[in-house]
């Protein structure tokens, strides 16, 4: 049954991506209007669904400005890492940062493109957005399958003013290799000893309970359709699809709401280094500060080391996006990179990638 449900989620996921974020179903076609050579240039990328909405919208505006087309397929971070390693795309997208050792092994470069956040979303009619508080223990027990109904005393204790229904809990998780899953399960492993011992973290894990859905869009779709559902998605999907998200505990133990202010608070603590190809062991998960959102994460771009000419095209796209795309990113619920980090990335492009 699980397998059938996971497969069934694929089609709605694709439709949701195209419908909500301006994806182009004819992405393989290119324009040659006016004989402009630039109009036939196509850059191909694939990977994380976490940044899909912002990449698609950046690509749309970039095409209008330059005539250069950027195709990005949201297939999950695992697929993005695999395809760029196999050199079937010009760049890969991954929410799982690759260590310097793994980058050397795969002969890749890496840099951050934008900062986002993961939120825990729920479908409980009558309970509004950010009204529900979920402690670290409650989130762990929900995704472990230990809490079967929403009116469990453990959840009620943190929500005395909310009438929780005797509704069965349905966990929705990713079905494929996912950087969103990597970050989410890394967080669960950090806050929950039982999760760390029995499940652990990774792009793919052996989920104790739940239904698998493909992509952030697939999880979004299932949560929307299933009363009593709980899942995890990138904030842009929550925002664009009007889902309700829970308050979670910061690293300091305070309940915090998923807001741009709190995402930025977490991002401000990052310490980036070109020497490590911008690798941070735990991404931006559980940054210090009473109002730092615990599930903040940067999403990365992966480039083949030997393809300097193609890399230059990809870099031109992201450089344009860094200069012109902050408003788009913010509107979609992402945190644009700070200017000092953008300058570090430009130095990295010049001194490492294109040297």
Report how far residue 264's alpha carbon sits from residue 115's, in angstroms, rounded to the nearest whole number: 9
Range of the domain at 20: 2-116+270-279+297-353
Provide the 10 A C-beta neighbour count for residue 136.
17
What are the structure tokens assigned to 149, written together? Answer: 């109904």
pLDDT at 162: 96
Domain count, the chain: 2
Kindly give, in sequence order, each residue whose CB lies less than 8 Å from that of residue 105, ignoring residues fewer than 6 positions away. none
**pLDDT tens-place string over residues 133-170:** 999 999 999 999 999 999 999 999 999 999 999 999 99
- Residue 212, classed as helix, strand or coil, is strand
The pLDDT, as a whole number, for residue 39 is 61
In this prediction, the residues of the chain whose per-residue pLDDT falls under 50 are 1-38
- Is residue 140 located within the same domain as residue 230? yes
Tokens of 118: 């993961």
Which domain CATH number covers 155?
3.40.190.10
**Same domain, residue pair 183 and 194:** yes
In a domain, 285, yes or no: no
Three-state secondary structure call for residue 347: helix
My answer on whether 97 and 154 are in the same domain is no
Residues 258, 130, single domain; the answer is yes
Do both 137 and 219 map to the same domain?
yes
Same domain (yes/no): 39, 68: yes
Residues 270, 284: contact at Cβ < 8 Å? yes
Please report whether residue 292 resides in a domain: no
CB-CB contact of 220 with 15 (8 Å): no
Q: Tell me: do 262 and 274 sit in the same domain.
A: no
d(CA 106, CA 38): 30
Contact 334, 114 (CB under 8 A): yes
Q: Encode pLDDT of 194-243 as tens digits.
A: 999 999 999 999 999 999 999 999 999 999 999 999 999 999 999 999 99
Structural domain contains residue 284: no
Q: Is residue 24 part of a domain?
A: yes
């Amino acid at each position: 049954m699980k397998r059938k449900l996971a497969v069934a989620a694929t089609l709605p996921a694709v439709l949701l991506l195209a419908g909500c974020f301006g994806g182009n179903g004819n992405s393989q076609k290119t324009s040659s209007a006016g004989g402009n050579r630039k109009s036939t240039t196509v850059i191909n990328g694939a990977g994380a669904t976490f940044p899909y909405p912002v990449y698609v919208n950046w690509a749309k505006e970039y095409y209008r400005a330059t005539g250069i087309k950027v195709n990005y397929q949201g297939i999950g971070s695992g697929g993005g890492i695999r395809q760029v390693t196999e050199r079937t795309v010009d760049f890969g997208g991954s929410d799982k940062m690759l260590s310097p050792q793994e980058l050397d092994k795969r002969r890749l470069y890496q840099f951050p493109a934008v900062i986002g956040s993961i939120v825990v979303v729920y479908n409980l009619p009558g309970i509004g957005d950010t009204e529900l508080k979920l402690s670290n223990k409650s989130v762990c027990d929900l995704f472990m399958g230990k809490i079967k109904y929403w009116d469990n005393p453990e959840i009620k204790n943190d929500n005395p003013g909310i009438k929780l229904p005797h509704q069965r809990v349905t966990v929705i998780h990713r079905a494929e290799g996912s950087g969103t899953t990597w970050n989410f399960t890394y967080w669960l492993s950090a806050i929950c000893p039982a999760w760390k011992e029995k499940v652990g973290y990774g792009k793919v894990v052996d989920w104790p309970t739940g239904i698998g859905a493909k992509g952030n869009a697939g999880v979004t779709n299932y949560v929307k359709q299933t009363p009593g559902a709980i899942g995890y998605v990138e904030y842009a999907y929550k925002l664009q699809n009007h889902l309700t998200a829970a308050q979670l505990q910061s690293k300091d133990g305070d309940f915090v709401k998923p807001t741009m202010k709190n995402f930025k608070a977490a991002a401000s603590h990052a310490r980036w280094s070109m020497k490590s190809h911008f690798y941070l062991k735990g991404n931006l998960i559980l940054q210090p500060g009473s109002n730092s959102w615990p599930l903040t994460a940067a999403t990365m771009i992966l480039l083949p080391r030997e393809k300097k000419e193609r890399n230059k095209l990809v870099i031109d796209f992201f450089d344009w996006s860094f200069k012109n795309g902050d408003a788009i990113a913010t509107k979609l619920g992402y945190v644009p990179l700070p200017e000092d980090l953008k300058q570090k990335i430009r130095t990295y492009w010049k001194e490492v990638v294109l040297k």
